[in-house]
Amino acid sequence: MVNITHKSNSLRKAIASAVVKVSKEETIKAIQEGLVPKGDVFSFAKVAALFAIKKTSDIIPDCHPLPIEYADIRFSMQELSIEILVEVHTIYKTGVEVEAMHGASVAALTLYDMLKPIDKHVEIQNIKLVSKEGGKSDFKINPEQLITASVIVCSDSVFQKLAEDKAGLALIEKLKSVSITTKNYHIIPDTKVAIEAQIQLFTKDSDHILIFVGGTGVSPRDITPETIQPLLEKELLGVMEQARNYGQERMPYAMLSRSIAGMIGETLVLSFPGSTKAAQEYFDALFPQILHSLKMVKGEKH
Nearest alpha carbon to residue 214 among 190, 231, 183: 190
The phi, psi pair for 150, rounded to 5°, reads -125, 135
Q: Is 205 a catalytic residue?
A: no
Residue of 40, 62, 113, 207 marked catalytic: 113
What's the rounded Cα separation, in Å, for the pair 10 and 251? 20
State in Å, rounded, how far the first CA of the chain is from the last one: 46
Largest CA distance in the chain: 85
Active-site residues, by number, are: 113
